[in-house]
Chains A and B, each alone.
Chain A
Amino acid sequence: MFATLEALSQNLQKHLGDRVKSLKVALGEVTIEVDAADYLTVMQTLHDEPELCFEELIDLCGVDYWSYGNVRREGRRFAAVSHLLSISRNWRLRVRCFAPDDDFPSLPSVTSVWNSVNWFEREAFDLFGIVFPGHEDLRRILTDYGFIGHPFRKDFPVSGYVEMRYDPEQQRVIYQPVTIEPREITPRIVREATYGNVDNA
């Protein structure tokens, strides 16, 4: 296990060089971070290079780092995180790429490299508002037809803004402002790093 991670890290450094902004090995997984400018070429290399050979893109998701650690975060906010899998080499890799502009987050689409990313990019666009230029069919996918906003952003309330009901007078389904009072039963608490440490138990 450790040997394969080591080999993967070396191959990554060999073929990607300084295009890898950071390489981290933690919990038996390798994570690399790349710049948005290098994103597409890095992904192409990861797919094509026989020493890396990531045939499958398992997952791509948006992440909003707006309130990470319960503090308002400085710096860039949106990232796309992909999980790659190599069938022939039997290893996995996580690639994180931050979108440069918070007001209009945008990253190149990798649909040409892996076709399976199609719906994942649509989902990241739908839920986080990350735009993927180069994607042929960037429509909303999970939310309702005509939905406004990007619901998985951290500043979007859990109960949403509108609710739907049947109106007997107009005899049709209507939208109205949400009537749910937001409540939080267990508050979100971040304690010092050693607090929940299972080794202390």
Chain B
Amino acid sequence: MPELRNFTLNFGPQHPAAHGVLRMVLELDGEVVMRADPHIGLLHRATEKLAENKTWIQSVPYMDRLDYMSMMCNEHAYCMAIERLLNVEVPIRAQYIRVMFDEITRILNHLLWIGCHGLDVGAMTMVLYAFREREDLVDAYEAVSGARMHAAYYRPGGVYRDLPDRMAQYKESKWKSAAQIKPFNDVRSGSLLDFLDDFVSRFPKLLDEYETLLTDNRIWKQRLVNVGIVSPERALQRGFTGPMLRGSGVAWDLRKKQPYEVYDRVDFDIPVGVTGDSYDRYLVRMEEMRQSNRIVKQCIDWLRQNPGPVMSDNHKVAPPDREAMKSNMEELIHHFKLCAEGMHVPEGEVYSAVEHPKGEFGIYVISDGANKPYRLKIRPPGYVHLSAMDEMVRGHMLADVVTIIGSQDVVFGEIDR
């Protein structure tokens, strides 16, 4: 009888199902995975080291580029850390705007996730539907910040500016006739809040459409049910957070348990899985999108009725407005000091965490009183989930590895930092 040996397979880093630059060395016995060794760091940019050499405010755009699929949530954790060190109060309207955009970001992230996960597993259509809806939401990003992805919209002390009264319009071109662009421009004729209001009224129906495609789909269930089961005990032991933990049946959500901003004033539910397999995680994320939609709706209603400042008026932290700066000596000095030297954050250390679409995203900063952080540590949720990869894929087929990567929702911007 010939000697049988395990087969070692290199998966990635340029594999389309590797979600970026994951390289995995898989040890196979036939088609069964015996061991998986993820090699990460191919996208390592040393964000933490760079942040130590930049002023506090200059690092905000770096945060967008961590998890580049949920940009504003990353900024949120960073800004909250600075605000807690400085003990700065954020205006209530800015808090509502932040919550609204956190939830928009969650929908954005989950839409991309369902699209790519579908693509990996064989449901090609999903990505087209998901990107149709993402288009509207990145338009909302663009309307407030001018950028469709890397917004840098949250700033220490509030948000960069108030919500705009009008949206950008489509123009007629030789590819799109006036009749074609009319429906797009009709929903964009009012303010950003009108546009989002229209979106949240349409979105639950669209989610139902996705579910008719996937939830009872036989192929989808064959690929997902009982794949990558994690028990609640193992999930805690492996440090899971977010949908990965809730999929295993642990009802833990920072928005409920340790509420920040105005999450204690909005009404929403936390979906929890039962078996802890990939299919439960899928269901949890789908339900999260519905709940996010509810939160966005409540924020829109509140924001319509309550105008007010969106940035702290403390000029040690936030720059003064242009008009005051041109007419007032003190304002000019504040602006100059803020832009030349940056703010000084008192000595201390703080860990601030937000319920990021992927799990608990935390920023740990140590300040020694300088105009730059002494040490910044990013706690990426995907890094912890990926470290459990070996445990989750052991004993599964090679094709299930792709399902499990998809259900972990990994993005390499945050994992490699």
By a beta-carbon cutoff of 8 Å, the part of chain A in contact with chain B is 26-29, 31, 55-59, 61, 63-64, 68-70, 81, 83, 87, 90, 92, 94, 114-119, 140-144, 151-152, 158, 184, 186, 188-191, 193, 195-198, 200-201
| Sample of 13 more A-B contacts, CB < 8 Å, known A58-B353, A115-B388, A152-B49 | A29-B350, A56-B239, A58-B362, A61-B364, A81-B377, A140-B41, A141-B40, A186-B58, A186-B341, A186-B371, A188-B371, A189-B344, A196-B346
B78 within 8 A of A: no
CB atoms of B44 and A143 under 8 A apart: yes
Check B130 for interface membership: any CB of A closer than 8 A. Answer: no
Q: How far is the CA of A152 from the CA of B348 in the complex (A)?
A: 20
- B266 sits at the interface (CB 8 A): no
For A29, list chain B residues within 8 Å (CB): 350-351
Find out whether the CB atom of A198 lies under 8 angstroms from the CB atom of B350: no
> Any chain A CB within 8 A of the CB of B342?
yes
Q: Is B347 located at the chain interface by the 8 A CB criterion? A: yes
A26 touches B362 (CB 8 A): no
Is there an interface contact between A196 and B85, defined as CB atoms closer than 8 Å? no
> Which chain B residue lies CB-closest to A92?
B351
Contact A142–B53 (Cβ < 8 Å): no
- Size bracket, chain B contacts: 35 or more
Whether A198 lies near B314 (C-beta < 8 A) is yes
- B114 in the interface (beta carbon within 8 A): no
- On chain A, the residues within 8 Å of B362 by CB distance are 58-59, 83
Q: Is the CB of A189 within 8 A of B371?
A: yes
Are the C-beta atoms of B88 and A198 separated by less than 8 Å?
A: yes
Distance between A54 CB and nearest chain B CB, rounded to angstroms? 10
Measured between alpha carbons, how far is A92 from B366 in the docked complex, in Å?
17
What is the bound-complex CA distance between A61 and B366, given in angstroms? 12
Which chain A residue shows the least CB distance to B237? Answer: A115
Select from chain B the residue with minimum beta-carbon distance to A83.
B351
Name the residue of chain B whose CB is nearest to the CB of A195.
B344
The residues in B between 246 and 272 inclusive whose CB is less than 8 angstroms from any CB of A are 250, 252, 257-258
Bound together, the chains give a CA A97 to CA B193 distance in angstroms of 49
Q: Once the chains bind, are A27 and B350 in contact (CB under 8 Å)?
A: yes
The interface residues of chain B lying within 8 Å CB-to-CB of A55 are 236-237
7 A-B pairs with C-beta separation under 8 A: A56-B236, A69-B369, A83-B351, A83-B362, A94-B351, A186-B342, A190-B370
Q: Are B236 and A201 in contact (CB under 8 A)?
A: no
Contact A188 B372 (CB under 8 A): yes
CB-based nearest A residue for B343: A196
Given A27-B85, A114-B237: A87 and B316 interface contact (C-beta under 8 Å): no
Choose one: B41, B58, B360, B377; the contact of A144 (CB below 8 Å): B41
* B347 and A61 contact, CB distance less than 8 A: no
In the complex the two chains form, what is the Cα distance from A140 to B46 in whole Å? 14
Binary CB contact string for chain B from 30 to 74 against chain A (1 if under 8 A, 0 otherwise): 000000000011001010111001110010000000000000000
- What is the CA–CA distance of A98 and B343 in the complex, to the nearest angstrom? 30
Q: Which residue of B lies closest to A91 (CB)?
A: B258
Determine whether the beta carbon of B384 is less than 8 Å from that of A119: yes
Contact of A58 with B239 at beta-carbon distance under 8 Å, contacts A29-B350, A81-B364 already known: yes
- Which residues from chain B contact A158 at a C-beta distance below 8 Å? 46, 49-50, 53
Among B342, B372, B377, B384, contact of A61 (Cβ-Cβ < 8 Å): B377
B345 contacts A by Cβ under 8 Å: yes
Q: Which residues of A contact B41 (CB under 8 A)?
A: 140-144
A118 partner residues in chain B, CB cutoff 8 A: 387
Does B11 count as interface, using CB distance less than 8 angstroms?
no
B368 touches A59 (CB 8 A): no
Residue-wise, chain B 294-320 has the 8 Å CB interface mask toward A (1 for contact) of 000000000000000000001111000
Could you tell me the distance in whole angstroms from the C-beta of A62 to the nearest C-beta in chain B? 9
* In the complex, chain B residues whose CB is within 8 Å of the CB of A201: 314-317
Shortest C-beta distance, A148 to chain B (Å), equals 15
A59 to B386, CA, bound (A): 14
CB-CB nearest in chain A for B371: A189
The residues of B that contact A152 with a CB separation of less than 8 Å are: 46, 48-49
Q: Within 8 Å of chain A (Cβ to Cβ): is B223?
A: no
Task: Please state if A193 and B369 are interface contacts (CB–CB under 8 Å).
Answer: yes
**Once the chains bind, are A69 and B377 in contact (CB under 8 Å)?**
no
Residues of B within 8 A of A143 (CB): 41, 44
- How long is the Cα–Cα vector from A70 to B252 in the complex, in angstroms? 41
| Chain A contacts for B383, CB-based, 8 A | 119
A105 to chain B, nearest CB (A): 16
Q: Is residue B10 within 8 Å, beta carbon to beta carbon, of the partner chain?
A: no
B355 within 8 A of A: no
Query: B219-253: contact bitstring with A at CB < 8 Å (1 yes, 0 no)?
Result: 00000000000000000111111000000001010
Query: By the criterion CB–CB under 8 Å, are A68 and B374 in contact?
Result: yes
A87 in contact with B252 (CB, 8 Å): yes
Q: Are A114 and B53 in contact (CB under 8 A)?
A: no
Which residues of chain B have C-beta atoms less than 8 A from A68's C-beta? 368, 374
The verdict on B396 contacting chain A, using a C-beta distance below 8 Å, is: no
A87 to B251, CA, bound (A): 9
Chain A residues whose CB sits within 8 angstroms of the CB of B315 once the complex forms: 201
A59 to B258, CA, bound (A): 18
The docked-state distance in angstroms from the alpha carbon of A198 to that of B83 is 11
Residue B375 is within 8 A (CB to CB) of chain A in the complex = yes
CB-CB < 8 A to A140: which residues of B? 41
- With A and B bound together, what is the CA distance between A158 and B370 in angstroms? 18
A189/B341 in contact, CB under 8 A: yes
Q: Would you give the shortest CB distance from B157 to chain A, in whole angstroms? A: 9
Taken together as a complex, chains A and B put the C-alpha atoms of A197 and B316 apart, in Å, by: 8
Tell me how far the C-beta of A124 lies from the nearest C-beta in chain B, rounded to whole angstroms. Answer: 10
